[in-house]
Amino acid sequence: MAILVTGGAGFIGSNFVLDWLAQGFETVVNLDKLTYAGNLQNLASVAGNPAHLFVHGDFGDAALVARLLQKHQPRAVINFAAESHVDRSISGPGEFIQTNIVGTFTLLEAVRVYWGTQSEANKTAFRFLHVSTDEVYGSLAKTDAAFTETHRYEPNSPYSASKAASDHLVRAYHHTYGLPVLTTNCSNNYGPYHFPEKLIPLLIVNAQAGKPLPVYGDGQQIRDWLYVKDHCSAIRRVLEVGRVGQVYNVGGWNEKPNLDIVHTVCALLDELAPRLDGKPYTDQISFVADRPGHDQRYAIDARKIEQELGWKPAETFETGIRKTVQWYLDHPDWVANVQSGGYRDWVAQQYEKTKASA
């Protein structure tokens, strides 16, 4: 048996693949286009593992996906593949429409055809799990109740709008064709292997380099923070026992203003890797013009997944953020390769030879 993972060289996807293989589950067929955020150095520890079959390709390539499905006969498809950075979606929305909407549609079509050829037993056991975001729900006021699975979709950026569209496609394929789907909507992830354009890794990398620590506006935008390995365990649980056709919100129960995150990271760096001049890293904080249309608050109500499936996060924000900062301090080569683009050379050396056997 096998599972097909799309986007398995990205931040969340690679953490999922590593955890899955570490627990000795089925073979992973890992399909990733390797855009700027897809980094096979994330998966260096499983480069020789026969249970990890990496395929360099686009989940929007219908012929490739169909061939992989027929060859490997996966019992599940987990879709992580997405363009995910809000700022990039504002400056270049076209790629987000193509990847998140058209790509998801193409994948669903290929999976629908594959699923239709299976035996009744295999059709019943099969799952398509779509990984999405809390940003599809829009923005909350400080006193509003947290997002539940029935909250109205009100996306406010090209990124969140494209993810909302993909969620709707997944739902439609269940209701129209009977495809056994599951959807998870997660809050802000953080942890190892996070590309340093997002807030927490950017803070760590810039602080170490003596660069400004940029904070949008007044820094009072509130997010719920979820340690990536907790997110991965939630996805495994939903895949295992989630009810077909259902949506599960996955959160960390950690609502914090962005400025608090900045101060927390600075305090940990002061402790773990103090500046040579003895000054605090908070001296590097720089307030910059706010993002256009910046959502004020996201908050996840994760009671459904806890009550129905028995899942809750293992990490508090305090334990998770300490592990995260320490990981970046312990992996300067990974950081340097990401910043220089050297990881692409590593990909060519390590994985070009696997293309022919995919």
Q: Round to whole Å and give the CA distance between 127 and 113.
A: 14
- 352 versus 28: which is more confidently predicted? 28
DSSP-assigned beta bridge partners for residue 6: 31, 79
Q: What percentage of the chain exceeds 70 in pLDDT?
A: 95
Residue in the block written with tokens 């996966």: 74
pLDDT at 350 over 80: no
Q: What's the average model confidence in pLDDT over 322-345?
A: 85
pLDDT band, residue 353 (cuts 50/70/90):
very low
Return the closest-CA partner of residue 82 out of 64, 50, 104. Answer: 104
Return the closest-CA partner of residue 137 out of 167, 177, 114, 174. Answer: 167
Mean pLDDT of the chain: 93
Domains in the chain and their CATH numbers?
2-357 (3.40.50.720)
pLDDT of 189: 97
Phi/psi region, residue 350 (left: phi>0; alpha: psi -120 to 50; beta: rest), is alpha
Q: Do residues 213 and 175 make contact, with C-beta atoms less than 8 angstroms apart?
A: no
> pLDDT digits over 121-171, tens only?
999 999 999 999 999 999 999 999 999 999 999 999 999 999 999 999 999
pLDDT at 355 over 50: no
Q: Which of 159, 227, 281, 343 is catalytic?
A: 159
Which DSSP state fits 146? P
Q: Do residues 55 and 30 make contact, with C-beta atoms less than 8 angstroms apart?
A: yes
Instruction: Report the alpha-carbon angle 245-311-82, nearest 5.
Output: 55
Q: What's the average model confidence in pLDDT over 171-198?
A: 95
Residues in contact with 25: Cβ distance below 8 Å, sequence separation at least 6, in sequence order? 3
Q: Round to whole Å and give the CA distance between 126 and 58.
A: 22
> pLDDT digits over 244-268, tens only?
999 999 999 999 999 999 999 999 9
The runs of H, that is alpha helices, within 147-227 are: 158-177, 199-209
Q: What's the average model confidence in pLDDT over 209-213?
A: 93
Return the closest-CA partner of residue 129 out of 46, 18, 12, 34. Answer: 12
Q: Round to whole Å and give the CA distance between 7 and 33.
A: 7
Active site residue 134: yes
- 291 versus 58: which is more confidently predicted? 58
pLDDT of 352: 43
pLDDT at 348 over 60: no
pLDDT band, residue 346 (cuts 50/70/90):
very low
pLDDT at 182 over 60: yes
pLDDT at 356 over 50: no
pLDDT of 354: 40
3-class SS of residue 4: strand
pLDDT at 36 over 90: no
Q: Which of 32, 58, 135, 167 is catalytic?
A: 135
Residues in contact with 224: Cβ distance below 8 Å, sequence separation at least 6, in sequence order? 134, 146, 187, 188, 251, 252, 253, 254, 255, 298, 299, 300
Active site residue 135: yes
Q: How many CB atoms lie within 10 A of CB 112?
A: 15
Is pTM beyond 0.95? Reply is no
pLDDT band, residue 84 (cuts 50/70/90):
confident
- Dihedrals φ, ψ of 54, to 5°? -90, 135
Which DSSP state fits 42? G
pLDDT band, residue 42 (cuts 50/70/90):
very high
